[in-house]
Structure 1
């Protein structure tokens, strides 16, 4: 009851014109940065940070929260319309969002993404408001061993993603793991597979890799299919509201709650991030679906799962930031700087000394989510006009945007070269019918898996000591169970197929 009272007072405190205008501006800036590959939410927060210096602590931090929320949600726009993940957390949105757009359902895909990303945010903010201290205690129990267990479990999802053609899927995933080995090794910094190149010392950055594997590869495939230098524009089906019915909304609720829980849980654990939660929720939704064969071909369930999870990660990532003073991801690390600018110290004492600021942030999170929903819904018809641009004009513009976005990531030409390399990789994958999803999952998880393994062995002296940790055991043996179950399922399907051919 005390929390509700403080939250009510906080809403009254932030509902004045100047504060609301700053939050609207913050959400809009975040959406723009999130929708352009290379201009991430963390970059937007970093640019806004100095501008909040002259504001009150409450208004300054609420503005940063607005940018954060808009930035994460904005990634779905380019992911659905252009097959370009605007942020790393919107990777899995490409898998089904863009195929939906290609068959004229861009409005529906955007509507689903916008609504369920907003609901995912609200879900995690409610947990943040009422359960933050309790969940922070749980997060403290996670050592490198437990984090390795989560990453190992996520990696075994490749088996599910490869169902139907496991050899091709595992081969695609293996290539993804191979690329994570390029650069300096975690912990000891030993150069690996750099071939004397200074550029390869830092390895391949995530965002340029994803821009290449999705956007550049898609440009090459589309350009190849163009006849006479032109292709017809994609038709856009007219829809009412957000593009889906009340019955469809109710149908997606179990998927939403499951994905939002995954997103919030992953967000609480520092260093794992929204890209992992989005992929995990996508794979889980596919595994739980009655029609898994539709995933990757424009299934609305995939969009709902990903957007619910990656936006729920926001509230989860803010739990360790506010309660422990430990950033949950890159954006909350920037926000920690915002606390310092305003003379505040994030951690347990923040709830005692500055409860008004904390609950002001909680209230701002919910209000900014509503603002995000209104802004994106208002602009949804404008977003889809991109699909009306002829491909012979749109493709060169996308290519330029990809190059600028890749360069903006680290301000180095090598990232521009990387998107071309991975664009060719994605094109080859398409030609040989290799799935890109296992590649992406392994690329995202590979470095974290190795880092936590090395840290765990340094801490516990041997890998065997991991099995003395119950949480690690749970993740490890569930992962083994998933592998065995998937292999058995594949063998059974193979036998049935062989019998039908023999008959």
Structure 2
């Protein structure tokens, strides 16, 4: 009964006019950036962070969440119709979805993608609602040493699952943690790593860093690439699936929902890895595996369900433990901290409106996306005809205005430009920016828990091994790191991630 009453409270919060409006705005923006290739939810959320400051925390997070899971819906439209994945997690959808479109079944592919996404998103929301309070109770038994080890595990997993060299990813995590240390030490009042720059006494700006590393750098990289968008001129056709297609899609949607739900919870799992894992499962389990490569509906239904389930269950570690599962969740943590809210196990008690309102808004958002996507397919495809060279100047201007308006300080704009250049160089050097952002967010929290643990143990570092939870986390981190440093496993991971996104 507690769950039902809490969800009732959540719907009361989510169904206020302001929250419905911003949920709709988030879903529309998410769909649009999912359709447009090369932008993605990470860059978009980082660019839109400044506009959330004028809104209550619940409203802001509802909008940002809508952008994230809305992008998973939008990415499938152009992946199916144009063989052009707008979002990384939709790369797998092109393999069968575009073949279905060429076979005259574009409407059926779009329908199964939208309906599978809606079902998976709804189930994932139930999982978030049911498991959130349970995991919160478990997390409340954690001590400072356990939290430190859990966050350390999160950093190791984010480095291990990143594409490319594990050593480079670890270096980026370390750089992120180091940047998180910049500023005034809360306990001693001493300034650290500010190099005599007064503006750094409050630390490196999270919004400036996120905007630069993900937003500005992505814009520059997109300008480098030649534009080639072949806008579809033919008709989509009927959106109705045949009875045979419907029966074939149901098991795939169920399996994809399960895969996405499990991988979304894991740090570093994410929508892209979930969609790839679902596709590989369908190829092995489907009775119609001989059709894969020619337009098998299972290859659309499973991955689309998986990426939407993963995008919503990735909120579980954020809301219950305060641990970001991926770069988007790290941006969410930053948005909450800027609003003065510390994510973690106390959120259910301290911020019930935010916790339950966000969960209820996911149902509302999924229903909105179902309505937005299927009837408005033509409009989303026409959006691709707008040349990128016309869009990026407006994006840059709004970025500069947004970041300046935070504190009316031109130094924040300089920071954004610096991180934009640095993010561009990182992309050229094949250095993942996501582990750095996660390190930046978790670094200060890790330091706080490390200090508390050492104070409680009177300087005895063995406390991290004496507590069973802490020792288990550290053991898992060590095993994961050692496994990824082994050549055979590393090659397998890189090839899997390359195919998946």
Tell me whether 1:463 sits opposite 2:472 in the alignment.
Answer: no
8 A contact 2:125–2:363 mirrored in 1: no
The aligned counterpart of 1:69 is 62
8 A contact 1:207–1:406 mirrored in 2: yes
User: 1:374: how far off?
Assistant: 3.7
With over 3 angstroms needed to count, the CA separation of the structure-2 counterparts of 1:489 and 1:224, relative to structure 1, is closer
Q: From 20, 40, 45, give the equivalent of 1:24.
A: 20
8 A contact 1:6–1:359 mirrored in 2: no
The aligned counterpart of 2:313 is 312
User: 1:123: how far off?
Assistant: 3.0
The aligned counterpart of 2:79 is none
The aligned counterpart of 1:96 is 88
8 A contact 2:89–2:307 mirrored in 1: no
With over 3 angstroms needed to count, the CA separation of the structure-2 counterparts of 1:150 and 1:447, relative to structure 1, is same
8 A contact 2:146–2:470 mirrored in 1: yes
The aligned counterpart of 1:123 is 124
Instruction: Supply the RMSD in Å over aligned alpha carbons.
Output: 5.5
Could you tell me which runs of 5 or more consecutive residues in structure 2 were left unpaired when the two chains were aligned: 31-43, 76-84, 99-105, 281-298, 323-331, 342-346, 493-501
Query: Over residues 300-325 of structure 1, what are the superposed CA-to-partner deviations in whole Å (9 max), with x where a residue is unaligned?
Result: 9999777545533557777799xxxx
User: 1:387: how far off?
Assistant: 3.5
How many pairs are equivalent?
A: 415
With over 3 angstroms needed to count, the CA separation of the structure-2 counterparts of 1:178 and 1:29, relative to structure 1, is same
The aligned counterpart of 2:52 is 43
Alpha-carbon separation, structure 1, partners of 2:51 and 2:391: 28
8 A contact 1:73–1:114 mirrored in 2: no
Q: From 473, 480, 483, give the equivalent of 1:482.
A: 480
Alpha-carbon separation, structure 1, partners of 2:68 and 2:138: 30
Alpha-carbon separation, structure 2, partners of 1:317 and 1:476: 20
With over 3 angstroms needed to count, the CA separation of the structure-2 counterparts of 1:178 and 1:376, relative to structure 1, is farther
Aligned counterparts, 1:18-417, within 5 A: 24-31=20-27, 37-40=46-49, 43=52, 47=55, 68-75=61-68, 96-97=88-89, 116=117, 119-120=120-121, 122-125=123-126, 128=129, 134-161=134-161, 165-185=165-185, 187-225=187-225, 231-233=227-229, 235=231, 246=249, 249-250=253-254, 252-262=256-266, 279-281=268-270, 308-309=309-310, 311-312=312-313, 347=349, 364-365=360-361, 367-374=363-370, 376-377=372-373, 382=379, 385-417=382-414
SS of match in other structure, 2:55: helix
The aligned counterpart of 2:443 is 446
SS of match in other structure, 1:433: coil
With over 3 angstroms needed to count, the CA separation of the structure-2 counterparts of 1:77 and 1:446, relative to structure 1, is same
SS of match in other structure, 1:388: coil
Alpha-carbon separation, structure 1, partners of 2:461 and 2:272: 28
34-43 or 195-204: bigger deviation: 34-43
With over 3 angstroms needed to count, the CA separation of the structure-2 counterparts of 1:7 and 1:186, relative to structure 1, is closer
8 A contact 2:25–2:63 mirrored in 1: yes
The aligned counterpart of 1:56 is none
Could you tell me which runs of 5 or more consecutive residues in structure 1 were left unpaired when the two chains were aligned: 50-63, 83-92, 263-276, 292-298, 322-327, 337-344, 351-356, 495-503
> What's the TM-score, normalizing by structure 2?
0.62
8 A contact 1:153–1:476 mirrored in 2: yes
8 A contact 2:145–2:449 mirrored in 1: yes
User: 1:153: how far off?
Assistant: 0.9
User: 1:178: how far off?
Assistant: 3.7
Alpha-carbon separation, structure 2, partners of 1:485 and 1:190: 40
User: 1:467: how far off?
Assistant: 2.0
User: 1:393: how far off?
Assistant: 1.4
With over 3 angstroms needed to count, the CA separation of the structure-2 counterparts of 1:316 and 1:479, relative to structure 1, is closer
Alpha-carbon separation, structure 2, partners of 1:346 and 1:168: 37
